[in-house]
Amino acid sequence: DGGITQSPKYLFRKEGQNVTLSCEQNLNHDAMYWYRQDPGQGLRLIYYSQIVNDFQKGDIAEGYSVSREKKESFPLTVTSAQKNPTAFYLCASSPKDNYGYTFGSGTRLTVV
């Protein structure tokens, strides 16, 4: 079945540590996106990519980094510079045409 897979489902980060969230899609979608979800704040865009080897900052990119070396993969690294990383992280993908996004099931990151 085609879809988008995020791993791990739960992740715990110690202070000062970098962690990487995985996002893989087999839908042959061109664009991929990372959003952060906090209670009562909806979804906020972190990074997005419309083509391999290219990506742009979203509204809250500080403390995060991404790569797009393959069409299928768009990993997100939460660096130690992100001071409040505890949140639910959602990856999505989309074809070029204006269809809706396909979302992964999310990764819940907690700082311990």
Partner 1 sequence: AQSVAQPEDQVNVAEGNPLTVKCTYSVSGNPYLFWYVQYPNRGLQFLLKYITGDNLVKGSYGFEAEFNKSQTSFHLKKPSALVSDSALYFCAVRDPFFNTNAGKSTFGDGTTLTVKP
Contact residues toward partner 1 (CB under 8 A) are 6, 30-31, 33, 35, 40-43, 45, 48-50, 56, 58, 88, 90, 92, 94, 96, 98-106, 108
2 or 100: whose CB is closer to partner 1?
Answer: 100
15 vs 41, which CB is nearer to partner 1? 41
Q: Convert 41-68 into a string of H (helix), E (strand) and C (coil).
A: CCEEEEEEEEECCEEEECCCCCCEEECC
| CB 77, CB 19: distance < 8 Å | yes
CB 63 within 8 A of CB 79: yes
The residue among 47 and 78 lying less far from partner 1, judged by its C-beta, is 47
| Least Å from the CB of residue 40 to partner 1 | 6
The nearest distance, CB 112 to partner 1, in angstroms, is 19
The least distance separating partner 1 from the CB of residue 64, rounded to whole angstroms, comes to: 15
How far apart are alpha carbons 110 and 112 in whole angstroms? 6
Please report how close the Cβ of residue 37 comes to partner 1 at its closest, in angstroms. Answer: 9
Handedness of CA 99, 87, 41, 79 (dihedral sign): negative
